[in-house]
Copies of this chain bind each other. A is one copy, B any other.
Amino acid sequence: MLSNTGCVILGLLQKQPMSGYDIKGHIDLTAGFFFPASYSQIYPELKKLEAEGLVEGTQADTGRRSRTEYAITRAGRAMLAEWLADPSADSELRDEGLLKFFFGGSLTREELLAKVDAMKSMRAAELARLNELADNLPELADELQQMTLEFGISFYEYVISWCEQTAATLAARPEADFPVDKIASGSGE
């Protein structure tokens, strides 16, 4: 019923009216790490939600730049409540770095270590961002949002620890332990 982008938008508007630009900023700061959205989705989606009567846009030219502020309607709140009540909740993870590692049988130990290290630094950067967030705006978010942030922080911490452990395991083994096509040989090609 509600598209992915649709529900994030409605969820954010629950608190206060915002422009498309504001919405994007809020998502990036808070839910972006597990539910990203881009301008080219947000603006069309706002139009669609307005056509369905779930949000209402008003022109706000009060001194500032002119912008369209969208507010959630009663129907919008009802739709949001319905979406919240629905127990379905799919989740996905997609990690290209892990896939490269997975298929890295033909790489040298050093190349593998480099892959793992790249994964680690990427996650470390994201972790730093979330930690800064957690420190700097505890009053802006409610308790649930803080707990969600905790999810992200521990998730990145976990990934980083996997990287470290994996690197240690790799480093402890001689190069020869990773032959090219160890498996392919067995039953005939």
Known contacts A89-B96, A158-B155; A103 and B184 CB within 8 A of each other? no
**A side interface size, CB within 8 A:** 74
Q: Which residues of A contact B (CB under 8 A)?
A: 4, 7-8, 11, 14-18, 30-31, 33-36, 71, 80-81, 83-85, 87-107, 111-112, 114-115, 118-119, 122, 140-145, 147-148, 150-151, 154-155, 158-159, 162, 166, 169, 177-178, 181-184, 187, 189
Sample (20) of A-B pairs whose CB atoms are under 8 Å apart: A11-B99, A11-B103, A14-B184, A16-B184, A17-B189, A18-B189, A30-B102, A34-B94, A34-B99, A71-B189, A84-B104, A85-B111, A89-B100, A89-B122, A91-B94, A91-B97, A91-B98, A98-B151, A101-B147, A142-B182
